[in-house]
Amino acid sequence: MNFVTLNNGLKMPQLGFGVWKVPDEEASSAVGQALETGYTLIDTAMVYKNEHGVGQAVNQSSIPREKLFITTKVWNGDQGYDNTLRAYDESLARLGLDYIDLYLIHWPTPKFDDYIDTYKAMEKIYRDGRVKAIGVCNFEIEHLERILTECDVKPVLNQVECHPYLVQQDLKEFCAKHDIFIEAWSPLDQGGEVLKDNVIERIAAAHSKTPAQVVLRWHLQNNTIVIPKSVTPSRIKENFNVFDFELRAEEMKEITGLNRNRRNGSHPNEMNKR
């Protein structure tokens, strides 16, 4: 496993396991399989409605809690200062944990303009020692600039949709300049067209790897944190087996050159659902 050091000194696994759209009753077994495989970073969210199942797997695991890295998120309808403090306690209770390693704002929801108050509540939780790090999801540069100007604790990362068809180069450069990591959700284009791209398939064949492994390796070598999701044991293992090869500089450039600025999810400025 590769680890990165966040801007507050906390070490975080660079490859993790996501559980978006995993039903709560399946989350425990899927996360258990991931933990057995070697993952220690688990990414969930209140709105996924599977924090209970994730917590079950974590609490039943033989891995010491301090060696695990658990992320969850405050949902749009729970934003605002007091709401966020309550939402954090509720996530802790569902997970059955004493603390969360990383707490994130799920979307900026600019229509409601309450992400600053939300982040200030997260700063309080952080200063009180109840969470080890705080950050954001799906923030554009304009949203990050407000956080950096109006708040005191710099986000450790920005979790965004990112894959070879949505490279996010400008956002990556802005975040790198401010020592904020990019964490990729939908890193494999949701198993879609990217994995059938001729360039990806050719590079995969050259390394005797799968297209998914090549795309994950591209993320890792771009200094991106990545959280692929699967409930299939063989895929869970396949996605983990990406530390025994390296892409050449020209291969990295080819993959980056596939960018189409194509999203599967909503644009952050348009996602105002509560």
Whether 99 is a known active-site residue: answer: no
Query: Choosing from 39, 48, 88, 103, which is the catalytic residue?
Result: 48
The CA-based dihedral angle spanning residues 114, 69, 180, 197, taken in that order and rounded to the nearest 10 degrees: -100
Angle value at C-alpha 142, between 138 and 148, nearest 5 degrees: 90
CB-based contacts of 50, cutoff 8 Å, min separation 6 = 19, 22, 23, 24, 26, 27, 44
| Cα 139 to Cα 118: distance, rounded to the nearest angstrom | 14
Phi then psi for residue 43, to 5 deg, are -115, 120
| Cα 12 to Cα 6: distance, rounded to the nearest angstrom | 7
In the sheet with 225-226, reading across from the earlier edge strand, the strands are: 17-18, 41-43, 69-74, 100-105, 131-137, 157-161, 181-185, 225-226
Give catalytic residue positions: 48
